[in-house]
Amino acid sequence: MSPVLLSERSRGSARGGRIGACVAAHTPLRISPVGSDNPDIRQSKDRGSNCYSGSAELASETVVGGDNANALFTTAATPAAQGSVVPGSGGNFSSPPRTSGSLGLARERMNLTSCGLPQNVIMTIQSARAPSTRTVYEAKWRVFEDWCTSTHEVPFQCSVDTVLIFLQSLFDKGRAFSTLKVYLAAISACHVGINGKTVGQHPLVCRFLRGARRLRPVSKPLSPGWDLPLVLGALSGPPFEPLSEVDAKTLSLKTALLMALVSTKRVGDLHALSVHSSCMQFGSGDSKVSLRPNPAYVPKVMDTSYSCLSMEFSAFYPPPFTSEEQRRMHTLCPVRALRAYVSRTLSFRKADQLFVSWSGPHKGKPITKQRLSRWVVEAIALAYSAKGLEAPVGLHAHSTRGVATSWALFKGVSLQEVCESASWASPTTFMRFYRLDVTAPRLAHAVLSVTSGGAQGALS
């Protein structure tokens, strides 16, 4: 935590390193048995069996962004009828996970049903994907269905050249390589397959993806989109302080941003945190806080060696203070912010979920993951405004993971610890997608600080 909150460049030491589901609706079904003599339907010459086991292997490699508010399981974030629940009251958690009659991707269910699999087995198979992934696949498949309808093709039985032409049309429209992979994963999940393999495994499709990646390589930002030292400096003063005098909105924004920075977790993980006595425990004198998500919460990524989402934070520069600077640094303490937030919302909260609405008709009710993301973005924008600056364009809550972990690595935290905190099983994920260059300004300032007198002294 300290390397993130103590991110002033003047104190750094250079280091290197990156370590509910939607129900398908209005799904068109065109009956086209193999051997149909309908001239409008082009049959693939190498079409195999109409049944295949599992879904596209490519799907497991696809990173799907975004948070899904319609989660399959009811978590602490779900505004179910829970009554007024306060820390230590022993109140009930959210209701148990609900069963769903449909997991989306109706076409995939039909393919699996044709294999003779019972519905409970099919539901388990489709549950292998996160709810947000199923939602994205559902949307991409509908786009492909509409395209096939306009070209008089059968989407779930079309030939591989039809799939390639569709992907090329997306590529010609400027879609990114990662977007093509998501579309292909959705198609592979619903297509009957070719010669016993999914569409995504076809040699021509694999070569097409390699070509698309070479022509349009994946790029990521090289430097942070916003200044962490500037934002932390703003959080330690007005309008975020004094904490006892700020309004509920500002307190909520500050707490959400601090938690996103020091935990390096996804918004979905923060969204599942609970104030229930078994999930949030403060140490004596608020010396520390232990946090756990609602037990019903299922993280987006489960197959990782760092799947434990429990967190513990010690107080940051706790009193007594020996200097004014220590007093200022204590204003960034997440334990202090959490204690103030829980106490402030105690009188009106209506659920165990940590983050609840502060006003309006939904006051006290759990907020959605999308709303929590907006809180984080709004907190960064307000920090810039407090410094008399305009907030950068394109702010998004997920950027806190890259900014916080990059600063932590720069300040000396080991690569393994960075990955463990962010729940990355491999340093490759950090290196490829999240690591940002936070040393460049320091290097530039070091070069420019060499005065002519200093240079002459070195030569003499």
The answer to whether the beta carbons of residues 68 and 20 sit under 8 Å apart is yes
Residue/partner pairs of 111-119 with CB below 8 Å, 24 or more apart: 111/50, 111/51, 111/52, 111/156, 111/190, 111/192, 112/51, 114/50, 114/51, 115/51, 115/53
Q: What is the pLDDT of residue 265?
A: 92
CA 312-315-317 angle, to 5 degrees, is 145
Q: Which residues, 6 or more positions from 52, have their beta carbon under 8 angstroms from its beta carbon? A: 111, 192, 193, 196, 197, 198
**β partners of residue 366:** 356
Rg (CA), the chain: 26
Q: Which two tokens stand for residue 172?
A: 């010609």
Place of tokens 């200097």: 323
Is it the case that residue 4 has pLDDT exceeding 80? no
pLDDT band, very low/low/confident/very high, at 36 (cuts 50, 70, 90): very low
- CA geometry: angle at 446 spanning 443 and 450, to 5°? 145
Segment 218-230 mean pLDDT: 84
pLDDT score recorded for residue 369: 93
Average pLDDT on 68-88 reads: 36
Q: Please state the rounded mean pLDDT for residues 171-198.
A: 92
Q: Work out the number of other CB atoms within 10 angstroms of the CB of residue 293.
A: 25
Half-sphere exposure of 403 (CA within 13 A, CB side): 24
- Model confidence band, residue 104 (pLDDT cutoffs 50, 70, 90): low
d(CA 235, CA 191): 51
Contact predicate 138/104, CB 8 Å? yes
Model pLDDT, residue 443: 61
Whether residue 194 has pLDDT greater than 70: yes
Q: What is the dihedral of CA 203, 209, 211, 216, to 10 degrees?
A: 180
Lowest mean pLDDT among 3-12, 286-295, 308-317, 413-422: 3-12
Q: Nearest CA to 17 among 448, 373, 359, 431?
A: 431
Strand pairing class (288-291; 280-282): antiparallel
Segment 129-151 mean pLDDT: 91
Strand residue runs (E) in 176-300? 280-282, 288-291
pLDDT tens-digit series, residues 5-30: 776 544 444 344 433 334 334 444 44
What is the average pLDDT value for the chain, to the nearest integer?
A: 78
* Structural domains in the chain plus CATH codes: 2-16+225-444 (1.10.443.10), 57-68+99-215 (1.10.150.130)
What does the pLDDT look like over 315-352, one tens digit per residue?
A: 999 999 999 999 999 999 999 999 999 999 999 999 99
**Helix intervals (H) in 264-333:** 267-271, 324-330
| pLDDT recorded at residue 146 | 95
Which of these ranges, 43-47, 107-111, 160-164, 412-416, has the smallest mean pLDDT?
A: 43-47
- Reported confidence tier of residue 451, pLDDT bands at 50, 70, 90: low
Average pLDDT score over residue span 186-209:
93
Q: CA-CA distance, 132 to 138, in Å (whole number)?
A: 10
pLDDT of 82 over the 80 cut: no
Residue 74 has pLDDT above 60, yes or no: no
Predicted confidence band of residue 439 (pLDDT cuts 50, 70, 90): confident
Place of tokens 């991110």: 7
User: Which residue from 252, 233, 262 is spatially nearest to 375, judged by alpha carbons?
Assistant: 252
Q: What is the pLDDT of residue 434?
A: 87
274, two tokens: 């609970």
Q: Is the pTM of this model over 0.95?
A: no
Burial class (CB in 10 A: 0-12, 13-18, 19+), 25: exposed
Length of the chain: 460
Evaluate if residue 34 carries a pLDDT over 50: no
Q: What is the pLDDT of residue 303?
A: 55
Specify the pLDDT at position 270: 94
Are the C-beta atoms of residues 388 and 245 closer than 8 Å to each other?
no
Residues 6 or more apart whose Cβ sits within 8 Å of residue 453: none
For 252-280, the pLDDT digits (tens) are 999 999 999 999 999 999 999 999 999 99
pLDDT at 55 over 80: no
pLDDT band for position 233 (cuts 50, 70, 90)? very high
Strand partners, 185: none
